[in-house]
Structure 1
Amino acid sequence: MSRLRRMSPRRSYDQYCSAARALDVVGDRWTLLIVRELLAGPRRYTDLHADLPGVSTDVLASRLKDMERDGLTTRRRLPPPGAAYVYELTGRGRELQPVLQALGAWGQPELGERRPTDAVRAHWFALPLLRALEGTGLVEVRLEEGDFHLYVGATDGPAYGEGPAPEDPDARLVMDNGICTAISRGDVSLADAVRAGRVEVTGDGTLAKALREA
């Protein structure tokens, strides 16, 4: 049986409405969170599974096949010595970034206090911080949970990445999880957190200067 035939048929609302058609493609559980992970660039299946706690291997494999069929992702094999398959967003898939940003902004009041059962990854704060930054440039963020970097204002390629910035960043932000969570919830603006000394800003780039002068 071909790989295409093994994919589950796409369910449809059967409504002639662009919102309904969009939900036909991305409305399944986990799909948009897979997009969130792939906004960091190509990811291996094992990396995706590790950063999507709660998803079963069967469901993840099924969603990835559906997303490839629907033109949101592609799968390619890395050259040796890696020789592993990675998944990455297509241009159509990357167009979902503002959708996720809008959904995240709408969901800020739902965050509340972190529950004991809530998983967290440092890079999950990437999209909220991207909403708080203006301009363009590379920003490194250091948290207790780990480091990640942001491609502020990028219109192509990854929106963020895990770990330290791959080159000298335009700005480096150091903060604790508490203030980063408060920024993500919308309790305080990034500029106010910088003025209050809750976020340390270093760097000589335009973004660093703008944050220190805000």
Structure 2
Amino acid sequence: MSEPLSHCPATKAADLLGDKWTLLIIRAMILGATRYSEFTAAIPRISPSVLSGRLKSLCDNGLVMKRGGAGKQASYRLTPSGRDCEPIIFLLATWGLKWAERHTRVDQIDVGATMWDLHQTIDDSELPDGETVMAVTLTDLDHYNRWWITVSGKERDLCDADPGKEVDLYLRADLETLVEIWMGDVSVDDAVREDHLSMTGEPQIADSAKFWFPISPVAKAKAAGADPVGIAMTV
């Protein structure tokens, strides 16, 4: 016997969105993920079976549309109802920024998920035309401490192995500093001034870092003094 449906819209919405993995998948899509490999990079702890199941459920419920291919070859896009989840994700992130962040230790941060967020939120409009390659060294980690980011317009690539490309900019920082900049708690200029972040390479790219450096959409809205209610995340 199937479970009876609730008359309450909030309960119906919770049935669709009230799962951690579902919310993380939608968040990843808002930040640009469309393929299986991008979801696993953005959400490293999700199992293949859970990811496949949640994607199918999102498609079945009309929040996501699947295009082409089969399995890991398919791409996924938010539908209008899926895009309307953006303010919900925004509000959760705003709440987390205010309350949950204080209970998070640096050693609890997933470096892979953090680097995925960072490479997706670089402002490509402030970089030179063509391909820009950045090499990032995380000075406080013994493992997964070297990353390469390639940006070419809206196309992004993140590697933890040297892709063999000419590097335009080398960045060195500890993970906590990068997270603090991304969350809007520390400015790029202050991090450089205090020797928590160093950049060497193309001077024009290094000198303009405060304009292109990855910043959380929530931090951008917070800095602008925007009211989170009704505001969608935009990247």
The residue that corresponds to 1:59 in the other structure is 50
More deviation in 96-105 or 106-115?
Answer: 96-105
Name the residue aligned to 2:32.
40
Give the corresponding residue for 2:140.
none
The percent identity for this pair of structures is: 24
Equivalent residue of 1:30, what SS? helix
CA distance, structure 2, for counterparts of residue 138 and residue 11 of structure 1? 52
8 A contact 2:68–2:74 mirrored in 1: yes
Corresponding residue for residue 178 of structure 1: 176
Is the CA contact (8 Å cut-off) linking 1:138 and 1:151 kept in structure 2? no
Q: Does structure 2 conserve the Cα–Cα contact (< 8 Å) formed by 1:123 and 1:148?
A: no
In 1: Cα distance, 2:49 partner to 2:7 partner: 26
Q: Which runs of 5+ in 1 are unaligned?
A: 1-8, 153-157, 165-170
Matches within 5 A, 1:84-95: 84-95=73-84
Q: Structure 2, unaligned stretches of length 5 or more?
A: 138-145, 160-167, 213-235
TM-score for both structures, normalised by structure 2: 0.54
Of residues 5, 8, 26, the one that matches 1:15 is 8
Against the structure 1 CA distance between its residues 174 and 100, is the aligned structure 2 distance closer, same or farther, given a 3 Å change threshold?
A: farther
Query: How far apart in 2 are the matches of 1:91 and 1:142?
Result: 37
CA distance in 2, matches of 1:10, 1:32: 23
3-state SS of the aligned residue for 2:14?
A: helix
Corresponding residue SS for 1:163: strand
Equivalent in the alignment of 1:76: 67
In structure 2, the CA distance between the partners of 1:210 and 1:59, relative to structure 1 (3 Å rule), is closer
> Equivalent residue for 2:147?
146
Q: How many residues align?
A: 178
Q: Which protein has greater RCO, CA pairs closer than 8 Å, 6+ apart?
A: 2
How far is 1:33 from its partner?
Answer: 1.1
Aligned-pair Cα RMSD in Å: 4.3
- Counterpart in the other structure of 1:29: 20
Query: Alpha carbons of 1:50 and 1:172: their partners in 2 closer, same or farther (altered >3 Å)?
Result: closer
For 1:163-214, what per-residue CA distance to the aligned partner results, in whole angstroms no more than 9, with x for missing partners? Answer: 39xxxxxx97834233102324554234432454525396758x928649xx
Alpha-carbon distance in structure 2 between the residues aligned to 1:199 and 1:10: 57
Partner of 2:110: 119
